[in-house]
Chain A
Amino acid sequence: MIWVVFIILTLGLISSAVMVIYQKSPVHSALFLILTFLFLAGFYLLLGAEFVAFVHIIVYAGAIMVLFLFVIMLLNLKTDVRGFVHGPGKKFLALFLGGIILFLMMVMLLPRGIDAVPGAETSAKMTDTEFRQDNTESIGLLLYSRYILPFEIASILLVVAMIGGVVLTKKEI
């Protein structure tokens, strides 16, 4: 049963990801990317990470892609930039490089087996939170105890990004 769900999610994810780069209009690409994010949230639910799945939908599909769509529709473009790169053999070169990257990742993955990951046991002993009943409470415990410094730095990063966004779009600085 879980395999059926996995296969459906995989096929949906790969096909909507390919449709993102295959569409001519950027609005259609953005909509297919939202669909990709929804399939990815399904993967997170399959992996037992429901808090990550919901935050993923809220942040990515609900905020970031809406921002993308705002910008795409505000930049009402006159020139026609739909389409792939021009030039002899450039499309084939891009597909070949993508295939090489995929091959390199699979080469690292398949023959060695995944339990040869170094440092797995030590990392499991070092964490000081148990798996509680819900994902949210467990992540919250970990985020506020061991990862409090990256948490605060992430908030500073968001403030800097806000200031940067305002400064970059002003007419006179």
Chain B
Amino acid sequence: MIPVEFYLTVAAILFSIGVIGVLIKRNALIIFMSIEMMLNAVNLTFVSFSHHLKVLDGQVFVFFVMAVAAAEVAIGLAIIVRIVRNKDTVNVDEMNLMKW
């Protein structure tokens, strides 16, 4: 039996790799993929707590996180397609129309 701290450690490391990916990459699509990685780290936390506390509410919430992530990916990719159609680049440094 593996204590729950190990699963939470793995989820924390995965989450921080996602944070580093969001901060360090310039391609908007890879930033989006790192956001998905962060959501999955949270999913792992939910399932590990559900296993530890012997309740199923964590896994039900994972369900809803997956539904929200699917909706968010659809809209986010539509937005990125729209932006690329206008500016012909996915470099986030050049998406600066709202700057001062």
Contact = CB atoms under 8 A, between A and B. Distances in A.
Interface of A: 2-3, 6, 10, 13-14, 17-18, 20-21, 26, 29-30, 33, 36-37, 40, 43-44, 46-49, 51-52, 55-56, 59-60, 63-64, 67-68, 71-72, 74-75, 77-79, 81-86, 90-91, 93-95, 97-99, 101-102, 105-106, 109-110, 114, 117, 120, 123-124, 127, 129, 131, 135, 138-139, 142-143, 147, 150, 154, 157-158, 160-162, 164-165, 168-169
Contact of A47 (B7, B17, B34, B69): B7
Contact of A161 (B8, B18, B74): B74
22 contacts: A17-B17, A26-B27, A26-B30, A49-B62, A51-B59, A59-B66, A60-B40, A64-B69, A67-B74, A67-B77, A68-B33, A75-B90, A84-B25, A93-B23, A95-B24, A101-B19, A154-B67, A157-B68, A161-B71, A164-B78, A165-B75, A168-B81
A17 B73 CA distance: 19
Chain A, interface SS category: helix
Q: Which 8 A-B pairs have the closest CB atoms?
A: A161-B71, A98-B20, A94-B23, A21-B21, A102-B16, A168-B78, A105-B12, A94-B24
Given A14-B10, A165-B75, 9 more contacts: A17-B14, A21-B30, A49-B50, A105-B12, A106-B9, A147-B60, A157-B71, A165-B74, A169-B82
Contact of A20 (B19, B34, B81, B91): B34
A159 to B, nearest CB: 9
**Of listed A17, A106, A114, A124, residue having the most chain B CB within 10 A:** A17
Chain B, interface SS category: helix
B66 A138 contact: no
Contacts of B5: 109-110, 114
The interface size bin for chain B is 35 or more
Contact of B13 (A21, A68, A77, A102): A102
Contacts of A117: 49, 53
Contacts of A82: 27
Contacts of B16: 98-99, 101-102, 105
